[in-house]
Structure 1
Amino acid sequence: MDGTWTIGELADHAATTLAAHDSPQANGRVRDLPNERLIRWYTTIGLLDPPLGRRGRTALYGRRHLLQLVAVKRRQAAGRSIAEIQVELAAATDETLERIAALPPSSSGESPPREGFWRHRPDISHRPATVPAALPGHHPPRPTVVQGVRLAPDLTLLLETTDLSDDDLNAIDSAARPLVEELRRRGLVAPPESATPPRRSQ
């Protein structure tokens, strides 16, 4: 292990970590243990950072991804909605994620991934705000909740809406088909898994 994991290994680490810590899924609020589909969706809506890089076509993940994934599940187990978790964890530092995820020692034994400085989120908590917090009526912008529409196995359209009808999906399919075909010709997206219309990412 070089400090990075495949998406399947990340899912296994997260599931093992959650099972070893009082199984927060047991309260019935959280339906899904982490799996590859869930990880991809969380990445699409910004709950997980993009992969650190790729080995061929295999995406690679690191310890921060594990912290993010476990932190999300802890918050879900506490009854928080995805929208609330997005707001709380959108720019969370590693220290914040460590506190929320509360990884047991056995989950922390892997050496952290060897990343460049540009991959780390800076801790900006000590920096002055650009707009004084004391100004009356000033509220910092909140992260936007988006919905993903899967156009191809590795191509997702993000929309700032929570209400898509079947007619909307059919229209998106018709409009996006030439783009998807061109991207496939260029080898930028994977071949189709099946001839199915686009679907909401969940």
Structure 2
Amino acid sequence: MGNDFKRGFLIFDKSWLLDNAFMRSLSHAEHRIMVYLLCSVLRIPKECGRYKSGEIIAKLYRRSGILFVNASQEKIAENCGLSRTTAYRSLRKFRNHGAILKVFDGPENGTSDIHIVGFEFEKGKKQGKQDYFLIDSLALRSGRKLPDEFRKDVEENFQNWVLRPEARMWKEIFGIGAKLLPFGARAAA
């Protein structure tokens, strides 16, 4: 098991996962992979040559607060102590339910997949930033799939997306009230 996974697994607060129906439905291996993905979120404020698409990821993180994971199936399998087939099947299940959204990055060979796992919003200067992971959406918490229209909108428009969705959508997805909406979404509402 890789050192990155051990370090992230120990510091990640997993208490909120216990009341999540989707997380309870996962096998042990799938659970490990999901926790690994959540621990591997990239928060790079400027271009980083360490990642294949570091420039795009940094720009979208700064502009829209999109939380990405850039990891190959092989790296996920290696760090979680699983086979690549298990990693592939788990990622496919997560994509089918909307727990992660795959951003098209060339052919489907699993060498360097980029996934959106959530969003970071600044609630206010005093309250700071808060992460809204897709796994913590109202639909997945109750064991349903994330709505297709939300998934499709994010997957198709993530590069030019400046948090312009309607307030209704954010309330339906994350249960965010109008006062807690990010500035761009408040302006669009």
Q: State TM-score, norm by structure 2.
A: 0.30
Whichever structure has more helix as a proportion of its residues is 2
- The structure having more radius of gyration, on CA atoms, is 1
Whichever structure has more strand as a proportion of its residues is 2
Q: State TM-score, norm by structure 1.
A: 0.28
